Structure 1
Amino acid sequence: MSDIDWRDLPSLSSLRAFEATARLDGFSAAARALNVTPAAVAQQVRGLEAELGVTLVRRQGRGLVLTPEGAGLVAALTDGFGTIAEAVTRVRQDEAQRSVRVSTTQGFAQWVMMPGLARFWEAHPDIRVSMDITSKLADLGDGRIDIAIRSGPADFSWPGTEAELLMRSRYILIGAPDLAARVRTTADLQHMPWIFDPRNGSEPRWLAQLGLDPKTLRVTEIASPVLEVASAVQGYGLMFGVESIVRTELEAGRLVEIPCDILPEAAYFIVTAPGPRRQRVQVFIDWLKDSFGTGD
């Protein structure tokens, strides 16, 4: 198909007015279908005739008849508009069946989002949600992921994306009750077993601020937040955790917080590709903010 020079085509509104007039046999019926006045339809049709330099419809008695030129044009327009309508319907049907695809970390999905997801489906039973569990920032530009939820410094940004703050939560030092009870002073931390996430480059710095040398500690490294928390519950070591992530374990008494005033806040962001968002994606983002948002 050759490229279309839109400058040579009449306006879509005039073509639509003529197609409706021909299909519905008159200006009045076309006006009702297009939700405009009959005079407006007639003006559009006459303008189209003037632009093309041909007569498309003639009055015959109390009605209108198509000229040969009009009959040829309306056949093409009806076919073209029908094709457009079918394509739009398919797009809408595909969108209705398409899930909101969320990329997030294992810890946020399990302990923050999943417990509240039932409330979202109660309010929006027609919106499916699928999750990609990974600690890597997904490629939002290819359209396979709609939303990424990631943590980082409050002033952090991801190039080529739009990021907005969802929630803040404290980093805390935690351990099983029996193990935490043995920590009476900062010096006691040197003799405790520890659980580290090898992907968290901030933990060695926090230990240094506490006067601890990671090389002299008894450390178990676990690159899984779920297993890390489970190991802490079993008493295998102390760990740094995000309060919102471990809140369930704290409230159940399976973990307790150990006072530690050198730890920063964690910030969680909603990250999307630049540009307009699908309606269902925006509905889910609004729900995230209402359910978990802590504001700026």
Structure 2
Amino acid sequence: MAYNATSTPTNPLTAPLPPTPNLTPAERATERFSVTGNAIVTGGAGGLGLEAARALLEHGLKGLCLFDIASSFTASRAALQTLSDTFPEAKIIEEVVDVADEGAVQAAVERTAEALGSVDVLLCFAGIAGSAPAVDMSLELWQKVMDINLTGSWLCAKYAAKEMIKQKTGGSIVLVSSVAGYKSLFPLYAPAYSVSKSAVIGLTTNLAAEWAQHGIRVNCVCPGYMETAMTSVPRAQPGIQAYIDRTPLGRIGQPSELAGPVVMFCSPAGRYITGVSIMVNGGNHTI
């Protein structure tokens, strides 16, 4: 594989899209945020991943593979059935995958490409919090958080990119960091989580620079506290209230409020955007 510093103006994978003639204003608006091809969503049975997958399907995605662990698929079976019922024309499949297991990730991505025909989009929502004070946190827990949140994101991006490069069609990869990638979540104790999410932001810029020549755009969303199972546990409530107190919009977010940035990154609207991290946190970073 040849590595160049940048793409070129004549590279069709990175050149501006040619205008589509004879569209009505409404059709042009729809086309701007259209999502084509097939996607992998890691953590896809969870609240944020499932909501993002739904958004891609709403905007035209034809094939979807959800990566998650077996217990998450079991817990979300009703929601997954509703997703399939809502989008009967889309091909929706599942893969039980430990994203920190390189062999499992490689095999699952290759099976997905074969089953759907291509891999055009990757969303990396798989992650854990692993909250504990730094002085009490075990090395085992620290490593587990890093393995899933950071290494898992890299492995999934790596093998999705290999498929995209082989296809010569380009693609969009969206990693998921957090407001914790920019600031402490104190009084919630989350040093490993914060470090892993900071590293995901660095991973985003590096992969975006490396893979631009192949037409692969790599971006990142950084949600604040969202209404999910992770934020519903009692031990998280002091941290959530402190977050709300420092958030200009005065509340935590809804999973659906991540849909806009995700769709933008995966559609023609984001064609000239790569290496960017967008905070979706109600302005919490401003205070």
Sort the TM-score into its range (normalised by shorter chain): under 0.3
Q: Which has the higher strand share?
A: 1
- Normalising by structure 2, we get a TM-score of 0.26
